[in-house]
Amino acid sequence: RIIYVNGRYLPYHDAKVHVEDRGFQLADAVYEVIEVSDNSLVDATRHLTRLWRSLSELSISPPMSEPALCHVMGQTIRRNRVRNGLVYLQVSRGESPRDFLFPDPPVPPTLVCLARATIPAQVDQRAETGIHIITMPETRWKRCDIKTVMLLPACLAKQQAHAQSASEAWFVDAEGLITEGASSNAWIVDRSGRLLTRPLDNTILPGITRRTVMDTAASLGLVVEESPFTVAEALDAAEAFITSATNTVMPVIMIDGQRISSGTPGPLCRQLRRSFARVAE
């Protein structure tokens, strides 16, 4: 595999970042995961817009222009012959002796781009069955709208889910409302067929797939309400699902060991997954 690091396409084992990179020492870095479908990046413009916003919230200068970054992504995909899979982009504030304060003058940001193949049939197979999730108290910080690499709470949550034979964890805030998954947005379909997902604010990541699913739902004439829901409402829902770049729409059939409705992927969820309109670029 070939990985892009700061201007160079390197063999896998040479793709290294310095130990005093602020991404490594301080999680002072942001990232994006973009799906590659049939050789094309899915929703690339929305992902780059979000990356630019994350960078701006942390006052990190963009490492290059958007077209230049698209070129790097395209090259990385081609050099790795990825037809279906994902691109991972990470930008850190750069390499500088450890200090909480930003380096002054600023140092060049570190940019990493890698592409990995996935097997779409495996994801489709998981979607046929549906996944199990657990819920747990929210442990993350108050700026979950920024896509930073500060992912330890998400790792701990996923590990706990795995230990309970589940594949995702939904965080629950102090009011008992679900925020989002460790690496996905959370959705339910209520008993009157309305799709519910939490409104955007600092407590969740503005998911690109969430946005695209809202558009898809509108085109299918489905009602989407951006309103938060409780664990009890999720357990009582007609359907539940998660959205993320790597899963698109993934049905949830069990929450905290309790079956959702009949315990099989629901009809609206299946319809949304089928119709999920990829904006390939």
Catalytically annotated residues: 147
- Least distance to ligand PDD from the beta carbon of 38, Å? 18
What is the pairing mode between strands 248-255 and 131-137? parallel
Contact 16, 23 (CB under 8 A): no
Contact (CB, 8 A) for 69 and 88:
no
* Residues in contact with ligand PDD by the rule CB under 6 A: 33, 180, 183-185, 205, 207-210, 243-246
The helix/strand/coil state of 81 is coil
Q: Do β-strands 248-255 and 258-259 pair in parallel, antiparallel, or remain unpaired?
A: antiparallel
Q: How would DSSP label each residue in 212-272?
A: HHHHHHHHTT--EEE---BHHHHHT-SEEEEEETTTEEEEEEEETTEE-TTSS--HHHHHH
Sign of CA dihedral 64, 68, 69, 73: negative
Residue 191 tokens, joined = 């008993």
